[in-house]
Chains A and B, each alone.
Chain A
Amino acid sequence: DQQVKQNSPSLSVQEGRISILNCDYTNSMFDYFLWYKKYPAEGPTFLISISSIKDKNEDGRFTVFLNKSAKHLSLHIVPSQPGDSAVYFCAAALSGTYKYIFGTGTRLKVLA
């Protein structure tokens, strides 16, 4: 029972264009959503997060959108750069449970 799903295993985008990574979830009680980036042979690093009381959060080139009615969030990267090539994981958390549920990841390749 995958509570957090990333249905696109991979995505290729031209440098300078927008990258859109998607994530769907099933538990409407999740309070927080986070995105992590992972390079090979390294641990995931935190990118951006959003609380369920918001529908958008922006940090530089990265914006996360949350659609609670659709149980869907997306990460937009504008403009995409070759250094953004990595695996991106979305994660969801429920206050008080101390557990984070991760999606399966999307491998982004930004083509120069």
Chain B
Amino acid sequence: NAGVTQTPKFQVLKTGQSMTLQCAQDMNHEYMSWYRQDPGMGLRLIHYSVGAGITDQGEVPNGYNVSRSTTEDFPLRLLSAAPSQTSVYFCASSQQGGSGQPQHFGDGTRLSIL
């Protein structure tokens, strides 16, 4: 039972570099989402997807891109990394969104931008 798998676990980037954070789930969940966790800020929603081919913005989408070509994968792209994007990133999934269903979270990617 892999659940939600995030790679890499840690990454250090230089300002201006690009990177893709990977997220995969094996539960055939329709809803997937990305959050960032910063000290004193809780988890903030970056982008979400309600199914393959459908994505939308969350609270803090600027500087991030997503796509959902398959049900299983939901990668998060940083096109030009900035120090303000230093954070811990969590991917989550649930059978459906919008009905209060609990989400399953990955163990996170800790990203540092120098």
Chain A interface residues (CB < 8 Å from chain B): 4, 6, 31-34, 36, 41-46, 49, 51, 89, 91, 93, 95-105
Complex Cα spacing A15 to B55, Å? 45
10 tightest A-B CB contacts, nearest first: A32-B100, A43-B105, A46-B102, A98-B97, A104-B42, A102-B43, A102-B42, A98-B98, A93-B100, A43-B107
Complex interface: chain A residues within 8 A of B105 (CB): 36, 43-45
Complex Cα spacing A89 to B45, Å? 14
How many contacts A-B (CB < 8 Å)? 65
Q: Which of A6, A34, A45, A103 contacts B100 (CB 8 A)?
A: A34
CB distance from A33 to the nearest CB of B (A): 8
Q: Which of B31, B90, B100 contacts A95 (CB 8 A)?
A: B100
Known: A43-B90, A44-B90, A99-B58. A89 touches B100 (CB 8 A): no
28 A-B contacts (beta carbon < 8 Å): A32-B100, A33-B100, A36-B105, A41-B108, A42-B108, A43-B90, A44-B105, A45-B105, A46-B103, A89-B42, A89-B43, A91-B43, A93-B99, A95-B100, A97-B98, A98-B48, A98-B97, A98-B98, A99-B48, A100-B33, A100-B45, A100-B103, A101-B45, A102-B35, A102-B43, A103-B42, A104-B41, A104-B42
Size range of the interface on B?
A: 20 to 34
Chain B interface residues (CB < 8 Å from chain A): 4, 31, 33, 35, 40-45, 48, 50, 56, 58-59, 90, 92, 97-100, 102-108
Complex interface: chain A residues within 8 A of B56 (CB): 98
Complex Cα spacing A104 to B40, Å? 6
Known: A42-B107, A45-B105, A99-B58. A31 touches B100 (CB 8 A): yes
